[in-house]
Every structure is written in structure tokens, then in C-alpha cells.
Amino acid sequence: MPQNPPAPSAGAPKFLTLSPVIPVVTLADAALACDLAQALLAGGVAVIEVTLRNAQGLKAIAAIARQVPQMLVGAGTVLNGEDLRAAADAGARFAASPGATAQLLAAGQKAPIAYLPAVSDPSEVMCALEHGYRYLKFFPASVAGGTDMLRVLAGPFPNISFCATGGISPQNAGCYLQLPNVCCVGGSWLAPADALARRDWARIQSLAAAAVALRSVPVR
């Protein structure tokens, strides 16, 4: 009798299992990074993705890695192999990109940290599979078909697990997390710009706690 395929998230990289929501943060001031990390930890979120969209990104990653080691920090908006190396050198423990090129997929295979390439359609999933990736970022989720596309992808790709990112909010995150091929989602709402500007760590802690409560069962 044929066996069922393993659950998509079996053996998932650690950063995909720590929270149903991975905070995706762009910091204008790296000096806020450690306080932000502590607030998220207090709310039960032990993972953060800091984007490389400005010069503060690598500084923030380095600060968190050095001063808040209990927070698993990663780099977002990685666009090439050079970004991947810089992120690892700064202390990032994982990296994610908004898309994927053959060069970046190859670099990710050799990187000393986990790499999460992004896809938005079946052809891109197939390309990532050819390079050995089974955990993928689905981006931009809200304009690439959302939960309907993820349900479609589950058919031909039963062993692929996705972190859905882009247009995810507290209102729709639960719909994504209910899908068996979604291990977690990425969202920017856990660290809103106005809360960061006011250093409102209590609010960020509360948002983190609410995000953790979106799913009370373990990652499949």
C-alpha cells in the first residue's frame, strides 16, 4: 500500500516554527532594534525578519544578534549572493528574498544560514524544487492569488510548505494559517511605524501576543 507523503512542514527550518507570524520589519533607526526584539519576545514571538531596504538593516541585525541572542533574527529583501553573505556576516540566522534567481537559489544552497526563496506561481515553484527547496515564501500573497492560489498549489506540490507574506493582516492571517501547506505567515503589523516612533513597546508586546494566539496548535 502506498504511504502518504510526509507533512509539508516536517523538518522545517527552525525560524519557520517559532511563531505563526514572523514580524517583517524595516527600521529607520537601528538603535531601536534591541528594544523592539525584547518587546516581541515579551509577547511570545522569538523570531524577526529585518529587511535590507535601507542602510540600517544590517546594523539592526548585528545589534539583535549580539545583544538579544534569544531572538532568532533574519534578513529580508535579500536580492543577490552579496546580500546573503552580508546578512550572514552580520549575524542573521536566516534570509528571505522577494523573488528568486538561479544565482540566488544556488547561493542559498551554499550559504551558512537558512535561505527562503519567494515564489508566486507554479513555474517558480518548479524552479525552486529543481534547486532542492521545499520551504518557500509565497509573495506577494494578496495579489498573487492569496489563499485560492495556495489551495491550487497544494495539488501538484503536496510536499511544499509556504510562508505567505505580502498583504497579510490580523484580519486575514487566520485564513492562511488554516491551510495545510502554510506553515506561517509574515506580517509588518506587529511593529507599526507609529509605535516604533513613539517607542510604544507595550503596544508591540500586545500585538505580538495577539499574533501568537492566532494559532494555538503546533506547526504541522
Total count of residues recorded for the chain: 220
Other beta carbons less than 10 A from residue 194's beta carbon: 8
Q: In whole angstroms, give the CA distance from residue 72 to residue 74.
A: 7
For residues 96 and 57, what is the distance between their CA atoms, to the nearest angstrom?
Answer: 13
Enumerate residues 6+ apart whose C-beta is below 8 A from 178.
Answer: none
Let me know if 49 is a catalytic residue: yes
Q: 14, 49, 59, 110: which is the annotated catalytic residue?
A: 49
Show the beta-strand stretches assigned E in 18-149: 21-25, 47-51, 72-76, 94-96, 114-116, 118-119, 135-138
Whether 82 is a known active-site residue: answer: no
- In the β-sheet with 182-187, what is the strand arrangement from edge to edge? 114-116, 94-96, 72-76, 47-51, 21-25, 182-187, 161-165, 135-138, 118-119
Residues 110, 124, 130, 137: which is the catalytic one? 137
Task: Supply the residues annotated as catalytic.
Answer: 49, 137
